Amino acid sequence: MAKAGSEPRLDGGGNPVWLLLELTYQCPLQCAFCSNPRQFADYRQNELSTAEWIDAMSQARALGAMQIGFSGGEPTLRKDLEILVAEADRLGYYTNLITSGIGLTEARLHALKDAGLRHIQLGFQSTDRDVARQLAGVDCWERKLAIARSIKALDFPMVLNVPITRQNIGQVPDIIDFAAELGVEYLELANVQYYNWALLNRDQLMPTREELERAEAAVREARIRLGDRLTLFFVIPDYHEGRPKACMNGWGAIHLTIAPNGDVLPCSQATNFKHLEFPNLRRQRLEAIWHDSPVFKLYRGDAWMPEPCRSCSEKETDFGGCRCQALLLTGSGHEADPACSKSPHHALVRQAVQQAQRARLVDAPLIPRHASQGIGP
C-alpha cells in the first residue's frame, strides 16, 4: 500500500477524472491574456483527425475519466465538433464546451444540444464594448451578447467566465448584474493567471490589491443580494494572496490535457517546460502514458518537493503550488511556487506587483495574441 503523500492524490482511484481536449489553437480572437502557447501556429498543420480524437476519448473513458471539456483556441472552428460531442455523450461523459462564442449560431447550438452537449462555458471580457475590444483584440462584443442570450434561450446550463484584469475589475458590479439578468447559473470572475500571453502583458493587466479588495467586497454583497439566483466564483489572485493555488489537485493527479497535435500533458500549461518531451497519442496508449510516463511522474506526490514545501502542513492542500509558475518565475519547476509567502523566491512576486503598479504611469499598449509576432521563446 502506498504511503500517504507518496503517490498522487486522486479522486478517481488512481485514474484521471477530467479530460480537456484542446481541439485546435486557432482562434478568431487575439486576447491579451490568452493561455495558449505563444508558438500556437506550430500546431496548425498537425492537428489530430476526427478518428484520433474519438480514439483518445475512448481510451480516457476506459481509464475512468468522467468529464470532458472541448476547448482550444476556439473549438467551434473544428467542423467535426458535433461528431466529437455525440461520441463523448455515447461514451458516457459529462460534456462541456469552453468557447468564446464566436463560431456559434442558433443552428449550431441546436445541433450541439441534439448531439448531447450538457454545458457551455462562455468567455466574456467586459460589459463595456471598448474594454472588451481592448482585451479581446477584436470587436466581438455584440456578437458575444447575442450568443449568450441564444445559449440561455436553449436552456443550456452555463458558466460566464470573465478573466479579471486592471481594465475590467472596476466593472465587476455591472458584470454581476449582467449575469444575473441574463439568467446564467454560474459566474466565474477569474483573476488572470500569468502564463504565456498574460505573462507577456502582466504589467498592463495586473490590478492593485485595493482594486481586488473592492471587487471581492462587491462579490460578497452580490452573494447576499442574489442568493441562489447566481453562483459566484472569485478565483484568487495568487500574486496578492501569499498562498499558491492548488494546481489542478496536483501535477498529473486527476487532470489530463491533450494538445491539438496529440501531446498528452499533466496540465494545460505544461508546454512551458521546453526541455521536456511530452508523450504523444500517436506513439503511445493513454494508459501507459498516465501510469508510466516519466513526465507524469515528475511532480506527483511529495518526493520532488524542496523545503519549505516538504515539511509544510499545507502541502496536502496546495501540492506545493503551480509547477509551471515556479518554472516561469525561477527557471526551475522544482522550486517552491514564488506565489507562496513561505517560498525563498517570494520576492519575485512582490517585485512583479510593484513593477505592475509603476507601469500604470506609462500608457503602454497590450500586446495581442498574434501568430506572426513570434514573441518570446
Residue ranges at the known binding site for [4Fe-4S] cluster: 27, 31, 34
DSSP letter string, 200-222: HTHHHHPPPHHHHHHHHHHHHHH
The closest alpha carbon to 105, from 53, 146, 160, 63, belongs to 146
How far is residue 205's CA from residue 192's CA, in Å, rounded to a whole number? 8
Would you state the cell numbers that stand for residue 369, as one nine-digit string? Answer: 495574441
* Longest CA–CA separation in the chain, Å: 58
**Helix 323-330 vs helix 346-359: angle between axes, to the nearest 10 degrees?**
70
Strand partners for 200: none
User: Which residues carry a binding-site annotation?
Assistant: 27, 31, 34
Give the residue carrying C-alpha cell 476547448. 71
* Radius of gyration for the alpha carbons in the chain, expressed in angstroms and rounded: 20
Question: Is the Cα dihedral 272, 275, 276, 281 positive or negative?
Answer: positive
Query: In sequence order, which residues have a C-beta less than 8 Å from that of residue 170 and are 6 or more positions away?
Result: 211, 214
Angle, CA 93 vertex, CA 255 and CA 157 arms, to 5°: 95
The closest alpha carbon to 84, from 97, 102, 103, belongs to 97
How far is residue 150's CA from residue 104's CA, in Å, rounded to a whole number? 9
